[in-house]
């Protein structure tokens, strides 16, 4: 078992010239890492969406300083609000003329035993995590089917969509739904030249996860990982970039585990 820190790979221009939308892209989680990674891989531009306006503005400023203001735009977006979803995608087509890649990263977790879970807790997690992915996928497909060359959609699922974990019934149900949505939507999207796949991370550490998960649970989850460590968010972003790139041109409807977790 090795817990050595991973080394970030050098970029290879995998998304050169692409226009990319990433939801829940503020902060230091998977969405923020994905936004940075697509720019490193040569994307013409990235449009960031997030419901946290202050963090979103900070993310936009940081990326604009590093990659140039023309390549970065931020649009506040709550994925539970259809009008805001449309505005986010419209911002990409207005600036770049098309949407080549949509990364549906927005999700909401939390821990609650089922017997104590309220309807509001259940519904809120499903509305953000599953219904939000549905709304964004629907809007993305409507845009991509009208443009030459189609496009790519990558959804963020979770290993809890496959594996049971106490206190995660709402989140697991939502993420399993994201996997099923990915498979079904991919069949319909193929006619438009659009590919849809998903990533399924096990444990990617970031500050928000630390806030909503107890240290004991995090330690227990880490102990299940074959490498003896959690994933870095950019390691998940690397797989998202692969699925968004031409290297995965024959893949659609698939969910790829980003995990070293053993039973």
Name the residues annotated as catalytic.
171
Report in angstroms the alpha-carbon separations of 252 from 160, 183, 190, 241: 21, 8, 8, 14
Backbone angles phi, psi at 198, to 5 degrees: -140, 155
Instruction: Identify the bridge partners of residue 20 per DSSP, sorted by sequence position.
Output: 46, 101
Dist CA 48 CA 77 (whole Å)? 9
Dist CA 135 CA 123 (whole Å)? 15
DSSP notation for 153-205: EEEE--GGGTS--TT-HHHHHHHHHHHHHHHHHHHHHGGGTEEEEEEEES-B-
Backbone angles phi, psi at 98, to 5 degrees: -170, 170
Could you tell me the two tokens for 106? 């927005």
Beta carbons of 259 and 200 less than 8 angstroms apart: yes
Report in angstroms the alpha-carbon separations of 65 from 32, 43, 58, 85, 96: 15, 16, 11, 26, 20
Backbone angles phi, psi at 88, to 5 degrees: -60, -50
| Nearest CA among 91, 31, 89, 43 for reference residue 68 | 43
């Amino acid at each position: 078992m090795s817990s050595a820190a991973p080394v970030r790979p050098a970029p290879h221009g995998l998304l050169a010239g692409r226009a990319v939308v990433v939801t829940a892209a503020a902060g230091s989680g998977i969405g923020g890492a994905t936004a940075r990674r697509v720019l490193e891989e040569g994307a013409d531009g990235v449009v960031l969406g997030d419901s946290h306006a202050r963090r979103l503005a900070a993310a936009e400023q940081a990326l604009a300083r590093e990659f140039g203001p023309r390549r970065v735009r931020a649009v506040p977006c709550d994925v539970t609000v259809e009008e805001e979803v449309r505005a986010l995608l419209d911002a990409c087509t207005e600036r770049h003329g098309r949407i080549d890649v949509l990364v549906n990263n927005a999700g909401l977790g939390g821990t609650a035993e089922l017997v104590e879970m309220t309807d509001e807790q259940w519904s809120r997690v499903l509305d953000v995590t599953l219904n939000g992915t549905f709304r964004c996928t629907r809007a993305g497909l409507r845009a991509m089917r009208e443009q030459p060359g189609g496009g790519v959609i990558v959804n963020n699922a979770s290993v809890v969509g496959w594996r049971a974990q106490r206190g995660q019934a709402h989140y697991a149900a939502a993420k399993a739904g994201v996997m099923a949505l990915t498979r079904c939507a991919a069949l319909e999207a193929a006619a438009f030249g659009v590919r849809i796949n998903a990533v399924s991370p096990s444990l990617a550490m970031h500050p928000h996860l630390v806030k909503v998960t107890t240290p004991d649970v995090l330690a227990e989850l880490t102990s299940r990982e074959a490498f003896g460590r959690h994933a870095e968010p950019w390691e998940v972003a690397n797989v998202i970039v692969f699925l968004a790139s031409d290297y995965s041109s024959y893949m659609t409807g698939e969910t790829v585990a980003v995990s070293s977790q053993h039973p």
